[in-house]
């Protein structure tokens, strides 16, 4: 086992499920103590259990990323418990769509804008404010999507707008803070093996068939494949990678 994150403290939002849980587990398996965050306690507790069962260290903190006070308290909890914040992965996000833009409820627009854009903005602020006080700085990875600046898809206009914002916010923030010792990058996944990539009414078997027929690789990405890309960007292996947006999409946008 490699341990690129030995004795480092990592924070992962949206870590109670899907991609976020895989990232939290992968960081813990490479030596990080991981603070896992989300709104619901129960899935976070399960992520902590999985990490501890595998011999790692983790702490669950409930936080809504759309709430500035929650996000500040989350970063403070990481520092109080483990002494620093070295890695942060802003993964929490929601997809509301499937229908044409004109038929999207306004509440769904606001929910996506809140979690996907304001949530990343607030987290970046709180994380950078901590990391720039640390001699070793820190590394941040935001989870965008190919449905942002890389690709377009019917039924996803609002979601795509929020994810394009994540890609662009990443690049701007990266320039603002690299001289503070904080490296900021993004990963843009294509379809990943979580319920979010199922079309309305689609089964997992139908998704597998669709991927076989339409994706260059012939299958969607695993959560571990997204985690591997995130860990690369968060690690010293990527020490001169700044403001990039790494696409991991089975060749969908090749």
State the catalytic residues: 159
185 lies in the site for ligand NAP, by CB under 6 A: no
Question: What CA–CA distances, in Å, run from 236 to 48, 86, 167, 231, 239?
Answer: 25, 11, 21, 9, 5
Q: Per DSSP, which regions of 158-243 are E strands? A: 182-189
Q: Are 28 and 53 in contact (CB under 8 A)?
A: no
- Convert residues 195-234 into a mask of x (bound to ligand NAP by CB under 6 A) and - (unbound): -xx-------------------------------------
Two structure tokens written together for 12: 């992962």
Three-state secondary structure call for residue 120: helix
Q: In the complex with ligand NAP, which residue's Cβ is closer, 9 or 66?
A: 66
Q: Which of residues 4-43 bind ligand NAP (CB under 6 A)?
A: 13-14, 16-20, 38-40, 43
Q: Residue from 97, 119, 138, 243 that binds ligand NAP (CB under 6 A)?
A: 119
Size of the site for ligand NAP (CB under 6 A): 29
Cβ burial of 53 (10 Å; 0-12, 13-18, 19+) is exposed
Q: Residue from 28, 58, 59, 65 that binds ligand NAP (CB under 6 A)?
A: 65
Pairing verdict, β 57-62 and 33-38: parallel
Q: In the complex with ligand NAP, which residue's Cβ is closer, 170 or 197?
A: 197
Write out the residues near ligand NAP by the rule CB under 6 A: 13-14, 16-20, 38-40, 43, 64-66, 91-95, 115, 119, 143, 145, 189, 191-192, 194, 196-197
């Amino acid at each position: 086992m490699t341990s690129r994150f030995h004795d480092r403290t990592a924070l992962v939002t949206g870590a109670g499920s899907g991609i976020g849980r895989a990232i939290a587990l992968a960081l813990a398996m490479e030596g990080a103590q991981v603070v896992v965050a989300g709104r619901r306690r129960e899935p976070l507790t399960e992520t902590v259990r999985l990490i501890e069962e595998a011999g790692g260290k983790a702490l669950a903190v409930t936080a809504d990323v759309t709430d500035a006070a929650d996000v500040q308290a989350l970063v403070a909890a990481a520092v109080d418990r483990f002494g620093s914040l070295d890695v942060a992965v802003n993964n929490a996000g929601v997809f509301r769509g499937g229908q044409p833009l004109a038929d999207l409820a306004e509440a769904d627009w606001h929910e996506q804008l809140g979690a996907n854009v304001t949530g990343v903005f607030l987290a970046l602020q709180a994380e950078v404010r901590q990391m720039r006080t640390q001699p070793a700085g820190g590394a941040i990875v935001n989870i965008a999507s190919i449905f942002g600046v890389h690709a377009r898809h019917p039924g996803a206009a609002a979601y795509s707008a929020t994810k394009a914002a994540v890609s662009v916010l990443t690049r701007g923030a990266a320039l603002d803070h690299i001289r503070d010792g904080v490296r900021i990058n993004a990963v843009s996944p294509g379809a990943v093996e979580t319920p979010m990539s199922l079309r309305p009414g689609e089964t997992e078997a139908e998704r597998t068939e669709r991927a076989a027929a339409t994706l260059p690789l012939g299958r969607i990405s695993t959560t571990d494949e997204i985690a591997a890309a995130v860990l690369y960007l968060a690690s010293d292996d990527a020490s001169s990678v700044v403001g990039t947006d790494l696409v991991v999409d089975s060749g969908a946008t090749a």
